[in-house]
A and B are shown apart, each in its own frame.
Chain A
C-alpha cells in the first residue's frame, strides 16, 4: 500500500498511476548531490587502496559507537518525517508537526554528537591536515554536516507551514519535498558511516 496520492499531475501514459514523489525539481538536487557524494566515496576508496596501512591506523581512532549513535539518530528522524508526511498527505495534518519536531530533535542530537566527536579528535591533535584519512573524514563529514544544518532549517520551516491554519495541496507537497531532502541527508550518512567507521 502506498501513501495516499492527492490529485496532481496524472501519471504519464507510460506509467499510469505513478507520480514523482514531492516536487519534481527536488530530484535534480537530490540525484545531483547523490552523484557528487558517490564521487566522494569513490575517491576515498581509491585513496584507501593506495594507503591502506595509514587508513587502517587512522580509522581506529574514530569511535564506532558514536558513529552508530548518529546513524540511529538519523534513521529514527527519517522515520518520524515519513510518518509526519504520511499524515499530511492523508489530509489529517494535525499532530504531524510534533513528529517533525521529534525529527528535528534527533537531527540536533546528531549535530551535538558530531561536535563531541570532533572536539575529541581536535584534542588528539587530529585535523583536516593530519594525513589523508583525516582530511577526507573532516571534509566529507563536514560537507555532510552542512547538509544536516540546512536540513534542520528545512524541517523548522515545515513545522511552521504545518501549524498554519491555511493548508492546501501546495503546502502538503512542500512537506513531502522537504522530507525527501531530509531522507537524502540520512542516506548519505549511512554510506559515510560504513566507509569511515566500519570498513577497516
Chain B
C-alpha cells in the first residue's frame, strides 16, 4: 500500500463532501422541502427543473461510492491502533462504511423514482418523496457506528496514531448524528427533516466530520511511513507516533 494510494483514499472523503453538497443543491434538496407540503406542491416541485434535478441525483450516486475507500483506510488505522490479530472495531467500522454508502444511494433511488414520471398521481410522488427524505435524514446508524468505532479505537488504542481529542470529537459527533433519528415523529419544528436541529445542525457537522477525518488521515499517512508494517504486526510495547501530543 503506497503512500500515494493511501493519500488518495484519505482525500476521497473530502471529495465526497465537495461533490455531495453541490449535487444536493442541484437536486433541490437544499433547503429541504417541508414535510407539511401537500401532495400537489410536492408533485409540482418534482416536475420543475427535472433535467437539473436528475443530473444532481446521478452525481449523488457517483459521490456515494467515495465513502468506501475513505472508510476502508479508517478501518486500517483502527486496526493499527488496536494491534493484535483481530480488530473488532475495524470490522465494525467497515460495516458502518457500507451502511454509509447505502445511506446515500437508497434515498437517491427514491428521489429518482419521484422525479421519473412527473405526470403521475401526486399522492404517489409524495409517498416517494417521503421514502427519500425520511431515510436521508434518519439514517444515523451509519454515521454513529463509524464515529463510535473510531472514537473507542482512539481512546483505547494500544498504539497511538491519532491525538486523543479526535476520539472525543468522534464520540461527540456520534451523538450529534443521532439527532436526525426522530424525524418520523415530527412534521415541523426543529426536529422535523427540515428542522434546525435534525437537519441543519447535523448537516454542518456531517460535512465537518469528513473534512476533519480526511485531514487526519492525510497527516497519518506520512507520519506512519516507516512504521506501517511494524505497527500492523506488532503486539508488543505501545509505539508512540509523532502525531501524539
Contacts and interface: CB of A to CB of B under 8 A. Distances in A.
Interface string A32-58: 110010011001000100000000000
Contacts of A43: 190, 196-197
B197 A39 contact: yes
Interface stretch (B49-57, B123-131, B162-170): B162-170
B169 A29 contact: yes
Contacts of A117: none
Contacts of B167: 25
B180 to A, nearest CB: 12
Interface residues of A, number: 18
A135 interface: yes
Q: Size band of the B side of the interface? A: 20 to 34
Contact of B189 (A24, A29, A36, A135): A135
Nearest to A42: B196
Q: Is the interface of B mostly helix, strand, loop or mixed?
A: helix
B182 A32 contact: no
Interface stretch (B7-15, B133-141, B171-179, B231-239): B171-179
A24 B197 contact: no
B186 interface: yes
A128 B192 CA distance: 12
Interface string A128-158: 1100100100010000000000000000000
B191 interface: yes
A117 B203 CA distance: 33
A128 B184 CA distance: 12
B165 A24 contact: yes
Contact of B168 (A25, A36, A129): A25
Interface of A: 23-26, 28-29, 32-33, 36, 39-40, 43, 47, 128-129, 132, 135, 139
